[in-house]
Chains A and B, each alone.
Chain A
Amino acid sequence: MDLGLINGYAAVALLMTGLYIVLAYDNPIKRLIGLSIFQAAIFVLYISMGRIAGGTAPILAEGIERYSHPLPHVLILTAIVVGVAMLALGLALIVRIHEEYGSIDEQHILELEREPDA
């Protein structure tokens, strides 16, 4: 196995783990955890692609010719902020669901939902 692509393999493993958790679990908090893992995998992928063999931190200095690529890191900062906002909104929704139903358990909520609505 080419060790140079190990970040890529790690990202794929995390991606699949996250997606599985989102799709396989009923518990909304676990689904949010899955979404976060899924997004973290994409962050890893972006950050890894900025790495240039033999490159150093992208700060201009005397005698250095190779720098890592800073753009993917900047891009992913934006995506991390988006991820935090999504997580905060998701957790806020779960708090509201708990206030309204007294439970976040999907089975319990489905039983409550049996009653007809307007």
Chain B
Amino acid sequence: MNSLVLPALIPLLTAPLIVLIGGRHRAWLMAFISLGAALLSVVHLFSLGDSQNALGGWAAPVGITYVIDAANRPILLLIMLAGLLGLLCAPPERLAWLESPRPAIFYALYCLCVSGLAGIASTGDAFNVFVFLEISSLATYALVAAGPGRKALRAAFQYLVLGTLGGSFVLLGVGMLYMATGSLNMADIAALIPASPLPNAVLVGGAFVLLGFMLKSALFPLHQWLPGAYSRSPNAVAVLLAGSGTKVSLYALSRIMFGVFGVSWLVAHQVDKILLILACAAMLFGSLGAIQQTRLKALLAWSSIAQIGYIVLGISTLSEAGLRAAWVFMLFHAVIKGGLFVCASGLPSDRLENLPGLAQRDPLRAACMTLLALALLGVPLTAGFVSKWLMLQAAWDSGALLGVIVFAVSSLLAVAYVARIVLPIWQHSDNTQPIITPPTIRLAMLLTTAAALIFGVWPGPVIELCQRAAEALL
């Protein structure tokens, strides 16, 4: 039964080994093997079914438990796939600006970050969530600071300040829940809340935990750290963060909401309405922000803020269809946005005005970028259409008319910023110097584009997976 800890444990243990072994190429290979092994352990969890593991033989609620069910298995799969995808974009020669021995440390931090994310997704203990949150966050701050150029340092510092505030809010909230119930085990807290002698402490504690995770998942207006962290970091880190970083926080948010507080508590304290309003603001201002950007990665980052709004719209319906849509959206958006950040890596210039002529200079990249951008927009026959359609249906069925209207407006605004990527790519330009793309990045581009198209035509298995996730959560 100890295989439940493997997704978090394998990258955690390989991180120091990578530093000890050193060397750019060996470090990259080792990180790749480590995440590959972790991916295999997640695949094994799929065959294991729902299970719990008491660490060190201490049974819940005293000991720390790891809980694997239908809700977090897809998230674990997502973390490992995003991790491997990011590594494909960071072959050692792409980190030329990092002098030795920093590349090895970079890959070690990368593994630590993945380990922390996997830990958040698999633990059933509220304090353990905080510990893993800080492991992944501290690693992420350092990874963002490793980006090219000095602006990465300031983006990393900004992220450190806001991220630490978010983590501290979670700590504070967990402390208050512990005061009110005397337990740290999520399932146990859920059982003890109705009889708690301190309902106000439950309320304030819950507010702090949810606030902390909203900050960590960059829900508007707590998004200020995201554009810098995504657009200034090394491309591999941007792929990992866009693919899984905020998604894991959104998973933790839903896990706390449904696994600890339950729907009736959430409705009684109007959490659904607050989330709906924040989701609408995120959809609107994220898309408006994306339109104004002049750099490709900053545009993608702002678009992510809007997409987080879409996902939270699904969560805010508190319904099975909404959660299913949110899970589908998370998985497909990770593929699409991860793919777009892959396409943005290795470009000689990040500025939008240098995009014209890309179709002549690197046809494969131009084709993948166009298809993925259309998928981001939600054009039929792409994965983006499936997730947007499910989300719209769920919002309509739950009667959130405001959400449906803002959803439509935001999608229209998305046409404007997607056009700012897609149209210039196919324009003629005098600069026809070919761009040399390493084979690993080509592979990553092809894989994500293929996934975005295949799941657009054949989304059945993913929807089925997410249906079970929604049932497990509610």
Is B179 in contact with chain A by the CB < 8 A criterion?
Answer: yes
Mark each residue of chain B from 114 to 146: 1 if its CB lies under 8 Å from any CB of chain A, else 0: 000000000000010011001000100110010
Min CB distance, B323 to chain A, in Å?
31
Q: How would residues 36 to 54 of chain A score, 1 for a CB under 8 Å from any chain B CB and 0 otherwise?
A: 0011001001100100000
For this complex, 8 residue pairs linking A to B, each with C-beta atoms less than 8 Å apart, are A45-B172, A82-B134, A82-B167, A86-B138, A86-B164, A93-B153, A100-B150, A118-B349
Per-residue interface assignment for chain B, residues 11 to 46, with 1 indicating a CB less than 8 Å from any chain A CB and 0 otherwise: 000000000000000000000000000000000000
A101 surroundings in chain B (CB, below 8 A): 150
Contact partners of A45 in chain B: CB under 8 A: 172, 175
Given contacts A35-B164, A113-B151, A117-B151, contact A89 B142 (CB under 8 A): yes
Q: Taking chain A's interface residues, is the majority helix, strand, or loop, or is none over half, making it mixed?
A: helix
Min CB gap B352→A, angstroms: 13
Residues of A with C-beta under 8 A to B157 = 28, 90, 93-94, 97
- Cα of A75 to Cα of B164 in the assembled complex, Å: 17
Q: Is the CB of A90 within 8 A of B160?
A: yes
Asked if B130 and A79 sit within 8 Å, CB to CB, the answer is: yes
| Cα-based distance from A39 to B141 in the complex (angstroms) | 18
**Are A93 and B141 in contact, CB atoms less than 8 angstroms apart?**
yes
Q: Is B351 an interface residue (CB 8 A)?
A: yes
Q: Chain A, 1-34, contact with B by CB distance < 8 Å: what is the 0/1 string?
A: 0000000000000010001001000001001100
- State whether A78 touches B131 (Cβ < 8 A): yes
In the bound complex, residues from chain A placing their C-beta under 8 Å from that of B172 are 15, 42, 45
Contact yes or no, A38 B160, CB < 8 A: no
Q: Is the CB of B168 within 8 A of A42?
A: yes
Would you call A108 an interface residue if the criterion is a C-beta within 8 Å of the partner chain's C-beta atoms?
no
CA distance A45 to B127 in the complex (A): 15
Known: A38-B165, A38-B168, A97-B154. A89 touches B160 (CB 8 A): yes
Interface residues on A, range: 20 to 34
B233 to chain A, nearest CB (A): 13
Any chain A CB within 8 A of the CB of B171? yes
Which single member of B151, B160, B175 contacts A46 (CB below 8 Å)? B175
Binary contact track A49-74/B, C-beta < 8 Å → 1, others 0: 10000000000000000000000100
State in angstroms the CA–CA spacing of A82 and B175 once bound together: 16
Q: Once bound together, how far apart are the Cα atoms of A1 and B88, in whole Å?
A: 61
Most buried by A among B131, B141, B153, B164: B164
- Nearest residue (CB) in A for B160 is A90
Rounded to whole Å, the gap between the CB of B227 and the closest CB of chain A is 14
CB closest residue in chain B, given A94: B157
B191 at the interface (CB under 8 A from A): no
| B435 interfacial by beta-carbon distance below 8 Å | no
CA separation between A45 and B134, bound complex, in Å? 19
Say how far A95's CB is from chain B's closest CB, in angstroms.
10
**B149 located at the interface, meaning its Cβ lies under 8 Å from any Cβ of chain A in the complex:** yes
- Cβ of B168: which chain A residues have Cβ within 8 Å of it? 35, 38-39, 42
Distance between B23 CB and nearest chain A CB, rounded to angstroms: 24
Contacts of B138 in A (CB 8 A): 82, 85-86, 89
Q: Are A100 and B178 in contact (CB under 8 A)?
A: no
Contact A79 B171 (CB under 8 A): yes
Given A35-B165, A42-B168, A94-B157: A117 in contact with B149 (beta carbons within 8 A): yes
**Closest chain A CB from B172 CB (angstroms):** 5
Q: Within the assembled complex, what's the spacing in Å between the Cα atoms of A96 and B142?
A: 12
Find out whether the CB atom of B149 lies under 8 angstroms from the CB atom of A93: no
* Given A75-B127, A82-B134, A118-B349, CB of A31 within 8 Å of CB of B175: no
CA A89 – CA B105 in complex, angstroms? 14
